[in-house]
Structure 1
Amino acid sequence: MPNKFLRGWKNGRTRKVTHETLGHLSAIEITRPENGRYLRNKAGRAVITGLYNGVRVKAFQAHSVQHAIFISDASSLLPEIFPHVHGIYGRWIFAEWAEGTHKGVTYESSLNLFSQLHAVDLKHLPATGFDYLEDYIIPRFLEAATLAGKADKYQSHIYEVINHSAPRQLSHPDLTLANVVYSRKNLVSIDNELLSSGKLPLLDACNCAKSLDRSSREVFWEDWIATRQPDEIEIRNTSIAWLFREVGSCFISGRFDRCNSLLTSLDDVPEQSLKALDFPLV
């Protein structure tokens, strides 16, 4: 892709990004989905597949320009895990389309990737430009709580979760089995739009566990707990964050009765929310 479309040059960790007109996106031959509509991910950002000079690419929007820089740099730092980023253009990221297979991908595959991600020293990466909890989970939760007339009631819960005392780690809330493939003999994460850093690695694990069947969840949690040993505070704050996540999910899908039921759960024992994921320490 011509350099004028992409991140232009490096100056230490500072990145200068050119801002051309959207007309330059015509350099990509867009491939529409079978239903004829463009794709949007669950964060509401555009995702497009297409060809550039005969090479298949995935073009997707990050939360911000800084977030696009962060994802690009993380991909360069961990080329065995993330598809190669050809470049960025504003919030747009142009990444290699990872050809691979889901055959042989199990819960152990996600655990393997989590271990590699959580071992990364964030000093090697720039500011994230996006926080999964503060920029995605909590705003959706507040939309639901506000409509229910309860937003003020849960400010203490929000404060508690945001101020969780723990070092930040590389965070990936989308390492489900559907988003991991074997490509060139490596395990590769193919949906990285929500990649950032966070203080609740157990929240990432909950997102993964939700996609597993019950028998797989049991061994997943056994392995996770054996290697990470979450304490009571992390479990409590993760359970609150998980309720925020589930309330927001129900709200945007129109399941308002379930949404109200979950809001009530915040008044009781939020740790019980993890029982639905077969988490054994509650």
Structure 2
Amino acid sequence: MTATTAGGFDADTRAARAGDNEYTATVTDRWNALGGTANGGYLLALCLQALRRDMPLPDPLAVSAFFLRPGVPGPARVRTEVARAGRRFATGEARLHQGGKEAVRICATFTDLARAAGRTLVRNAAPLLPPPDACTDLLGGAGMPGVTIAERVEYRFARVPGWWRGEPGGELTAEFWMRFKDGRDADLPALALLVDAAAPVVLDIGETGSSTLQLTVHLRARPAPGWLACRVTTRHIIDGHHEEDFEIWDSGGALVAQARQLAALNGDGTRHRTP
């Protein structure tokens, strides 16, 4: 499936060159989280799409984003800088500004994953999930009022989480399938959005959501087409802050993305992420 619809990921992360190392873009309202602000992974991906146009190597490998202010629908400017360009790796930075103020800052190292070679050792495995058609779409193909990202990303669960039933069960790990609803297969920039596109597992301990402060993404391989198997875990909640670890495995069973974010429980932050 490779269809792309108007208002899909590619259209909504497009950046137009406005000068040397400067781009114009539009933050749309089609990737909003709870509270009416733009999802952080979407803002990261928008910055990444601009930065990759100035990098000498094709594939983002490690990306770190800091969210300084909520992203809101409207015009934005992205300024990029190439900090270092080597034969195997290149590192650069992008800053997204809205209303004259910096909202997001990312730093990313790029490489060419097609040329990557070396020792491989994986002491982990993809989630063991039934086929997507045998799993539950919690939203039944619909969306959620005000949470427009749920209209563009599809989730399938083997087991309905307790928080969805109104009965939080204390589970701080979730496994599920995920993909774009319009059928667009994920690529590396899309993975940078998808690691932040699911409901935080702290919902299952009775929290109402959380706000991402910092997000780091490691992109391990170009994903194969099809559904993505995901695993998300939180282990530590300290003074209202929690980490969230996210894994994405492609349809061929390869680990293609890992992410860790630090987030503040609702009431302690500003950018809600449910789901």
Q: Normalising TM by the smaller chain, what interval?
A: under 0.3
Structure with greater Cα Rg? 1
Q: TM-score, normalised by structure 2?
A: 0.24
Q: TM-score, normalised by structure 1?
A: 0.24
Instruction: Give the structure with the larger helix fraction.
Output: 1
Instruction: Give the structure with the larger strand fraction.
Output: 2
